[in-house]
Amino acid sequence: MFSASATKWGKQSVGTYKTSDFRKGLKVQIDGEPYLMIEMNFVKPGKGNALYKCKLKNLLRGTVLDRTYKGGDSLESADVEEIDVQYLYRQQDTFVFMDNKTYEQYELSSDQVDDSWKYLKEGMGCSMMLFNDNPIILSPPNHVELKVEYCEPGAKGDTATNVTKPVKVETGAEIICPSFINMGNVIKVDTRTGQYVERVST
Amino acid sequence: MAAESGEFHPSASWEVLHLRARLLRRIRRFFEDREFLEVETPLLSADTVIDRHLDPIPVTLFADPRQMAAGSRRWLQTSPEFAMKRLLAAGAPSIYQITRAFRGGEVGRLHNPEFTIVEWYGVEDGMQQGMQLLSELAEVLFQHGPAERISYAAAFERWLGIDPHGADGPKLAVVAERQGIAVPDSLPMEDRDGWLDLLLVECIEPHLGFESPVILYDYPATQAALARLRGDRTPVAERFELYFRGIELANGYHELMDPDELRCRNQQINRLRHTDGKPLLPESSRLLAAMEHGLPPCTGVALGFDRSVMLVCGAKELSEVIAFPSEIA
- Looking at residue A166, which CATH number applies to its domain? 2.40.50.140
Helix, strand, coil percent content, chain B, rounded in steps of 5: 35, 25, 40
Which of the listed residues A94, A117, A139 is the one where a domain comes to its end?
A: A139
Nearest-CA distance A192 → chain B (Å): 28
Distance CA A66, CA A57 (A): 9
- The β-bridge relationship of strands A51-58 and A195-201 is unpaired
Residues A91 and A134 in one domain: yes
Which of the listed residues A121, A139, A157 is the one where a domain comes to its end?
A: A139
Nearest to A69 among B181, B184, B276 (CB): B184
* Residue B162 placed within a domain: no
Which residues, at least 6 apart from A170, have a Cβ–Cβ distance to it below 8 Å?
Answer: A121, A146, A147, A148, A149
Residues A115 and A69 in one domain: no
* Residue A5 placed within a domain: no
Write the burial class of residue A123 (CB in 10 Å: 0-12 exposed, 13-18 middle, 19+ buried): exposed
Residues in B touching A69 (Cβ below 8 Å): 184, 186
Residues A62 and A43 in one domain: yes
- DSSP H or E run through A127: strand A125-131
| CB of B306 less than 8 A from some CB of A | no
> What one-character DSSP code corresponds to residue B205?
G
Q: State yes or no: pLDDT of A159 exceeds 70.
A: no
Nearest to B201 among A45, A69, A72 (CB): A45
* A11 confidence band (pLDDT: 50, 70, 90): very low
- DSSP H or E run through B263: helix B259-275
Q: What was the pLDDT predicted at A3?
A: 36
Question: Tell me, what CATH number does A25's domain have?
Answer: 2.30.30.30
* Residue B184 placed within a domain: no
Which residues, at least 6 apart from B24, have a Cβ–Cβ distance to it below 8 Å?
Answer: B98, B305
Q: What was the pLDDT predicted at B4?
A: 56
Considering its fold, how many domains does chain B have in total?
1
- What are the pLDDT digits (tens) for B41-84? 999 999 999 999 999 999 999 999 999 999 999 999 999 999 99
Would the CA dihedral through B52, B54, B57, B61 be positive or negative? negative
* Residue A6 placed within a domain: no
Considering its fold, how many domains does chain A have in total?
3
* Residue A3 placed within a domain: no
HSE, side-chain direction, 13 A CA sphere, residue A165: 17
| CB of B54 less than 8 A from some CB of A | yes
Question: Tell me, what CATH number does B229's domain have?
Answer: 3.30.930.10
Q: Under a CB-based contact definition with an 8 Å cutoff, are residues B300 and B84 in contact?
A: yes
| CB of B6 less than 8 A from some CB of A | no
Q: What was the pLDDT predicted at B329?
A: 94
* Residue A114 placed within a domain: yes
Nearest-CA distance B50 → chain A (Å): 11
Q: What value of ipTM does the predicted structure carry?
A: 0.87
* Inter-chain residue contact B277 with A72, CB threshold 8 Å: yes
Question: C-alpha distances in angstroms, A110 versus A94, A95, A140, B282?
Answer: 6, 7, 14, 63
* Inter-chain residue contact B194 with A67, CB threshold 8 Å: no
* Inter-chain residue contact A68 with B193, CB threshold 8 Å: no
- Most A CBs within 10 A among B185, B201, B272, B306, hence the mutation to make, goes to B201
* Inter-chain residue contact B194 with A49, CB threshold 8 Å: yes
CB atoms within 10 A of CB A5: 8
Residue B52's domain spans which residues? Answer: 14-147+212-328
Residue A195's domain spans which residues? Answer: 143-201
Beta bridge partners of B254: B299
3-class SS letters over B90-116: CCCCCEEEEEEEECCCCCECCECCEEE
* Residue A66 placed within a domain: yes
Residues A112 and A134 in one domain: yes
Q: What was the pLDDT predicted at A8?
A: 47
HSE, side-chain direction, 13 A CA sphere, residue A35: 26
| CB of A100 less than 8 A from some CB of B | no
Nearest to A45 among B184, B248, B276 (CB): B248
Closest among A22, A60, A62, A64 to A40, alpha carbons compared: A22
- DSSP H or E run through B230: strand B229-230
* Residue A30 placed within a domain: yes
* Inter-chain residue contact B109 with A20, CB threshold 8 Å: no
Residues in A touching B241 (Cβ below 8 Å): 46
Which of the listed residues A122, A139, A156 is the one where a domain comes to its end?
A: A139
Residues in B touching A21 (Cβ below 8 Å): none
Beta bridge partners of A145: A188
- What are the pLDDT digits (tens) for A26-60? 999 999 999 999 999 999 988 888 999 999 999 98
| CB of B189 less than 8 A from some CB of A | no
| CB of A105 less than 8 A from some CB of B | no
Q: Distance of alpha carbon B200 from its chain centroid, rounded?
A: 16
Q: What was the pLDDT predicted at A152?
A: 87
* Inter-chain residue contact A72 with B200, CB threshold 8 Å: no
* A158 confidence band (pLDDT: 50, 70, 90): low
| CB of B194 less than 8 A from some CB of A | yes
Interface A-B: count of C-beta contacts within 8 A: 71
Ranges under pLDDT 50 in chain B: 1, 3
* Inter-chain residue contact A51 with B184, CB threshold 8 Å: yes
Residues A169 and A190 in one domain: yes
Q: What was the pLDDT predicted at B130?
A: 98
| CB of B200 less than 8 A from some CB of A | yes
Q: What was the pLDDT predicted at A45?
A: 87
Question: C-alpha distances in angstroms, B275 versus B250, B269, B272?
Answer: 28, 10, 5
- Most B CBs within 10 A among A39, A47, A66, hence the mutation to make, goes to A47
Residue A17, SS3 per DSSP: strand
Nearest-CA distance A69 → chain B (Å): 5
Write the burial class of residue A168 (CB in 10 Å: 0-12 exposed, 13-18 middle, 19+ buried): middle
Residues A84 and A135 in one domain: yes
Residue B12, SS3 per DSSP: coil
* Inter-chain residue contact A44 with B225, CB threshold 8 Å: no
Nearest-CA distance B128 → chain A (Å): 21
CB atoms within 10 A of CB B130: 26
| CB of B277 less than 8 A from some CB of A | yes
* Inter-chain residue contact B109 with A41, CB threshold 8 Å: yes
Closest among B15, B47, B49, B7 to B302, alpha carbons compared: B49
Residue B267, SS3 per DSSP: helix
Q: State yes or no: pLDDT of A157 exceeds 90.
A: no
HSE, side-chain direction, 13 A CA sphere, residue B291: 19
* Residue A54 placed within a domain: yes
Q: Under a CB-based contact definition with an 8 Å cutoff, are residues B120 and B60 in contact?
A: no
Q: Average model confidence (pLDDT) for chain A?
A: 88
Residues in B touching A51 (Cβ below 8 Å): 184, 197-198, 201
Q: Distance of alpha carbon B287 from its chain centroid, rounded?
A: 18
Residues A43 and A66 in one domain: yes
* Residue A90 placed within a domain: yes
* A2 confidence band (pLDDT: 50, 70, 90): very low
Q: What was the pLDDT predicted at A88?
A: 96
Residues in B touching A68 (Cβ below 8 Å): 181-184, 198
> What one-character DSSP code corresponds to residue A25?
T
Helix, strand, coil percent content, chain A, rounded in steps of 5: 5, 50, 40
